[in-house]
Structure 1
Amino acid sequence: MHYYDGSFGGMHLIWWVIWVVLLAWIFFIPADIPYQKAKKDSPLDILKNRFAKGEISKEEFEESKKILKSDN
């Protein structure tokens, strides 16, 4: 026969652990999730990055920018 003596037999502790793990998972989830689709840079963003790195001159940048703007 089972007697109830006011304790939960450890079940109370298990629920607290579940809640703590769940809250920790929600708040500490990494910002960069693996297998997440990576945002693709637009051609204009790539062009700006190349210009910022010094890979292309200002004239090449302006010419390419005009070409990209005319395609839209």
Structure 2
Amino acid sequence: MMYGWYGGGGVWAWVVMGIVMLLFWGGVAAVVVLLVRGSRGGAGHYPPGAPHDDPERILAQRFARGEIDETEYRARLDALRRRP
């Protein structure tokens, strides 16, 4: 006697078991994807120790884009480095 383990559930038992299996493996895949994406960084992530709003970096980017000339760049860089 197997207490209803075989043949007692009908077709719906197989459907429910299939859905649960898909949910389980989908959850495992989602966890793996999140772990891989988190470990390798991605767009918008900055290396450790480099704040995303570093004033000198922003100033250098503006100079590189041509928004400010060299005189203004050097004056602002000196002002940034003099601050307390």
Would you call these one fold, judging by a TM-score over 0.5? yes
Quick one: higher RCO (CA 8 Å, sep 6+), 1 or 2? 1
Unaligned runs of 5+ residues in structure 1 are 33-38
**% identical aligned pairs:** 23
The two structures have a TM-score, normalised by structure 1, of 0.60
Aligned residues: 64
2:58 corresponds to 1:57: no
**Higher helix content, 1 or 2:** 2
The two structures have a TM-score, normalised by structure 2, of 0.54
2:81 corresponds to 1:69: yes
The CA deviation string for residues 6-55 of structure 1, in whole angstroms up to 9 with x for no partner, is 788335433421232213323066x56xxxxxx74222122111101001
Q: Distance in 2 between matches of 1:7 and 1:68?
A: 77
Which portions of structure 1, spanning 4 or more consecutive aligned residues, are displaced by more than 3 angstroms? none
Unaligned runs of 5+ residues in structure 2 are 44-50
2:47 maps to what in 1?
none
Q: Distance in 2 between matches of 1:14 and 1:7?
A: 18
Q: CA RMSD in A?
A: 3.1
